[in-house]
Chain A
Amino acid sequence: MAAASCVIGIGASAGGVEALKTFFGNMPADSGMAFLVVLHLSPDRDSLLAEILGHSTKMPVLQAADGMDVTGDHVYVIAPGTVLTYADGRLGVRGAAVPQRQLNPVDSLFSSLAVALGGKAVGIVLSGTGHDGALGLKAIRDGGGISMAQGRDGAAAYFDGMPNAAIAIGAVDMFLPVAAMPERLLSLLACPPPPADDLPPAGPVPDMEKYRAAICTALRNEVGHDFSGYKSATLFRRVQRRMQLFGLGIEEYVHYLATDQQEVALLFNELLIGVTKFFRDPAAFDTVAQLVMPLLFEGRGADSTVRVWVPGCATGEEAYSLAILLIEHMATLKVAPRLQVFATDIDEAAIALARAGRYPAALLQDVAPGRLQRFFTAVEGHYVIAKQVRDVCTFSTHSVIRDPPFSRLNLISCRNLLIYLDSELQAQVIPAFHYALAPGGILLLGSSETVTRHDELFEPLDKTHRIFRRRDVATPGPPHNGPWRSANRPRAVPAPSSPAPATPSWSRRAQDRVLQGFAPPFVVVNGDGQAQQFSARTGQYLEPAAGVPSRDLLTMARPGLRPELRAALRQARETGRRVDRHRVSLAGDEAGRTVTLTVEPLGNEGERLFLVVFTEAAPVHGAAAGEPASHGQRDGDVEVLEAELSDAHQRMQTAMEESEAALEELTSANEELHSVNEELQSANEELETSREEMQSMNEELHTVNAQLAGKVDELDRANSDLRNLFESTQVATIILDEHLRVRSFTPAVTGIYNLIQSDRGRLLTDIVCHVDGTDLKVDIAHVLETLTPLEKRLVRHDGSAHYLKRVRPYRTSNDAVDGVVITFLDITSVVEIEKQQLLLDELNHRVRNMLAVVVAMASQTLRRATTLEEFSEIFTGRIDALAAAYTLVARDNWSVVSLREILEVELRPHARSSNTTLQGPQVSLPPRVALVLGLAVHELATNAVRHGALSVPSGEVTVSWSIEIGAAGTDLVLDWRESGGPEVVPPRRRGFGLSLLERSVSHELRGTASVTFAPDGLQARFSVPLGLAGSPAGKMVATAWERKGG
């Protein structure tokens, strides 16, 4: 087992199973690489991932276990509910208490790879939602390793959340379809690119110099940033890394760069590697800590707030670093003001990562241990930012170009944003920062950035570390015309500078002087009465109102002016004409001056503006002194004036009350809005959390679904196998439910039961069958009761086949009994063989019996024979008689034998038909009776030939028989009568033949036999019961007789 030539970390989530299958389907099994695969799995379920991937690759696929050696050409997949890491050629697997997804297991793996392998680490992010893996890839790439993300290739379900998050934070070297990744990996392995932070390449730099212009032009055109001032070595090192990632020469690469916008963006990212990092550029942070922090907190009480803005915060490292510095500094203060760090970025994915505040350990290697311990919590290979720091920071998506800036800020840190903006946009953003900063606010910029074009707005505090202080001057251009107003135009064309072409500057200055020094004071307001511009010397008419600063002209106007001003403005608004109000007195003005108010609409496109001019009139009393008038006229004037005065007072009073009431309402409305806003904020956060939960749930579902699909495929295959088996088996099988309804059956059953497909669900007892099915119900009930199989033999109704019927309980997968399985095995051939065996046994038995009889016959004959000749003759005769009877019996297969035939056969050797007479009805005898009678007749005939009627030619034998039916049954009565023979002399002793005859009839046939030695001839009479009650032979005979006789 060879150690891995290269260790590849792969992270995926929703849609990842398909992507992994494609990946391993294209990856040769002998690449020498080892693959560590992390998928978001449900912790409660066993994972089939290893099995599923095993189908796609020839490499062994193992579920990762702690301490497992990582071997080349092996795939290791994460176990559910664990975190997989890599160190020293071994796997680390730890169980996790919290759901896997919350742990960002992909980040953990990548982070461990970045730490363990540095420039040799390779990380791949495949399909998935959320942003797990993005920071891990960043760690790999910042460490000089290679990072890849899945691009859309249309081949599989694809979720671009994870790849896009990685791309958004600039962590991806290559964006490829999955199917193309293995090939690229192989070529990279053969020719690894230099790590990003290596020494300058040994390659021929001068060669590249030729292309520098082309590269810089492409960058400038595409991302609007000029890298022509960049150090050549750095630029080329980065370019060369990109070239080698693609395996291209410089010329090809430049061509590629010109045709592929994405590559330009990726090269740009490459050039910006490492710009977001905790406490990046420690010297700068030290200076900020020593120089800026005291300034920020100078003279602040506990109820004031230090406001900080980090635009372009990316994944939040900078914002958190600053927050940590602020908190650290605050710890040294007696009185701590509140802190507020606004961190913004236009990228949602980056903001989401920043909000999570959870970073793979590899990204925090440069953070001092003390800070790590104080401001972070280590969780499963990650560091989570402490709540104390997190609470200070507010993250939101925001564009410095498009959206209005924050305001009243004390510090803006913009150390890695300006590089993304071209000089024109920079020129717009810097004033915006000036506007947003409170007086004395501090601006931090990145090391390559400067405000030299805006020296009038900012003064440098520390040139080396680009720390600037806001100059307390007006921001050029009203803020609402600022760059952020140019919505949807990220790269705004700068507005053409206001035309002042023909006017010489001195003339302009003269006009300004006149305006400042001699013209009456004026204010430009909009339709709402909001002041847009003030001239000089408006102070005697206007003063800032107490409370929140306001630009409302009516609020600022001195009390005496308000009613007239309000009326005049309204009139001008309504009529669109110039309105003059003469002799408006200023309340509280001891000099008794009056003014003429002129409100004149200004021709302006869009917003309506009004010019309000205050023209001072001569004091009233001054006018009186200079212009003597009649007393009466004066009195009249006084009366008129007093009346006007009291009138004005009243109006003023009313207006003031109204305004106060309105103000109160406004205040309370404002408070309500504040609380509503807070509620919305918390609701929003809850929504965010539940959205994340849903997302992770969705992903787990996806994974489970993919696994399920694999399982379903297997089931389908197994099902099809089973179906084929079912269709092709010759064993007739019926599956019934417990109510005897047909659930399924094999085709072979149709030979026994007339079943067709539509019979499923019908009762089996309703189906026509060709075997005896009467006891089926009983059998099934028995099997269901005892749960033991039952076997029975059945014969087809037509006798053509025998079956072995087996009834077994049907057991479901959880071992519950749900019906029965009936099988019919065709055992016709077995039964035939059994029958033959039985016949053979019976034959053997008969032969043995017969031999025993022959032996006994020989022994008995020998006992009584006097000479060997006599023995031979008698014995042969008996054997012949026996054989003849047997022949008859055997002829009809041991069924019935005709009595007449027996008699004929037995008499034939001894008599001629001329001297024997047979008289009687047709009677059929069972074999045994036939054998005994045959032997008896033989003995009689032998005796007749030797001593009786047949010993002389004139002798005759008459055999007659009849059937007598009595109460006890049917009897055969047979008479043997000899006549015409020599005189009969009764023997002294009964011979063996006759005693055998008598005994066998009584012994074997339970009949009677009597032999009488009448003088004119021997007579014998047998009476043999044929119809003995309970004797099957008798019954059969009787039946046969009745049939034949009748």
Chain B
Amino acid sequence: MNDGAPERPRILVVEDETILAMMVDDALRDEGYSVVGPFGRVDHALQAAEQEDLDAALLDVNIAGEMVFPVAEALDRRGVPVLLMTGYDDSIARKEYKGWPLLMKPFRLTEVLARLAAMTGRSCGSPS
């Protein structure tokens, strides 16, 4: 894997659950993305969201009790597509996080990858 390759889409990952973050991290790298993060704190994530060059973002909604929306909004302002992950029930989540694309936990990695591919304009599964 070559993290530095400029053609790799840069994905911001914000997830406080370490093992989940590690899994996503591994999976994205395996899929050929460049991962920014993963961040377990909103303030760090926000800094990255404002400064890093990003193609998409995968954000857990609840980061150690803090809401991730400032990050999502910052990204939105920059035109970076965002995918939110949450463990809350679908009906509650839809009400609370209106407007944002949602991914319900627990998710399958293939679904994450497919959604990201769609967001970044890459075809799913390439290059492996």
Contact = CB atoms under 8 A, between A and B. Distances in A.
Q: Do A and B come from one complex?
A: yes
Interface of A: 841, 844-849, 851-857, 859-860, 863, 928, 932, 996, 999-1000, 1003-1004, 1006, 1032-1033
A845 to B, nearest CB: 4
B88 A856 contact: no
Contacts of B109: 859
B20 A852 contact: yes
B123 interface: no
Contacts of A846: 87
B15 to A, nearest CB: 9
24 contacts: A844-B87, A844-B88, A844-B89, A847-B87, A848-B106, A851-B106, A852-B17, A852-B87, A852-B105, A859-B26, A928-B64, A996-B18, A996-B22, A999-B18, A999-B22, A1000-B18, A1000-B19, A1003-B18, A1003-B38, A1003-B40, A1004-B17, A1004-B64, A1006-B40, A1006-B41
B19 A856 contact: yes
A848 B87 contact: yes
A856 B22 contact: yes
A187 B15 CA distance: 103
Q: Which of A844, A999, A1003 has the most CB of B within 10 A?
A: A1003
Nearest to B15: A1003
A312 B51 CA distance: 124
Contacts of A845: 86-89
Contacts of B89: 841, 844-845
Contact of A860 (B19, B40, B64): B19
B91 to A, nearest CB: 9
Contacts of A849: 17, 87, 105
B114 interface: no
Interface of B: 16-24, 26-27, 38, 40-41, 64-65, 86-89, 92, 104-107, 109
Given A859-B109, A860-B26, A1003 B16 contact: yes
Contacts of A851: 105-106
Contact of A1004 (B40, B92, B105, B107): B40
A848 B92 CA distance: 14
Contacts of B16: 1003-1004
Interface of A is mostly: helix
Contacts of A848: 87-88, 104-106
A849 B87 CA distance: 6
A841 B88 contact: yes
A846 B106 CA distance: 10
Nearest to B91: A841
A928 B21 CA distance: 16
Given A848-B88, A1006-B41, 15 more contacts: A841-B88, A841-B89, A844-B88, A845-B88, A848-B106, A849-B87, A852-B17, A852-B87, A852-B105, A853-B17, A854-B106, A856-B23, A860-B19, A863-B26, A1004-B64
Contacts of A996: 18-19, 22
Q: Which of B21, B23, B24 has the most CB of A within 10 A?
A: B23
A860 B22 contact: yes
B19 to A, nearest CB: 5
Contacts of B38: 1003
A1003 B107 CA distance: 21
A852 B107 contact: yes
Contacts of A1003: 16, 18, 21, 38, 40
A853 B105 CA distance: 9
A863 B92 CA distance: 34
Contacts of B22: 856, 860, 996, 999
Nearest to A999: B18
A1032 B27 CA distance: 34
Contacts of B104: 848
A274 to B, nearest CB: 95
A854 B41 CA distance: 22
Q: Which of A851, A853, A854 has the most CB of B within 10 A?
A: A853
A582 B64 CA distance: 159
A903 B16 CA distance: 23
Closest 8 CB pairs of A and B: A848-B87, A1000-B18, A856-B23, A852-B106, A851-B106, A849-B87, A1003-B40, A852-B105
Nearest to B61: A845
A854 B24 CA distance: 13
Contacts of A1000: 18-19
Contact of B19 (A841, A847, A857, A1006): A857
Nearest to A857: B19
A863 B23 CA distance: 10
A154 to B, nearest CB: 78
Nearest to B109: A859
B62 to A, nearest CB: 8
A722 B32 CA distance: 77
Nearest to A855: B106
A846 B18 CA distance: 15
A92 to B, nearest CB: 71
Given A841-B92, A852-B107, A1004 B18 contact: yes
A852 B87 CA distance: 9
Nearest to B22: A860
Contacts of A847: 87
A456 B57 CA distance: 144
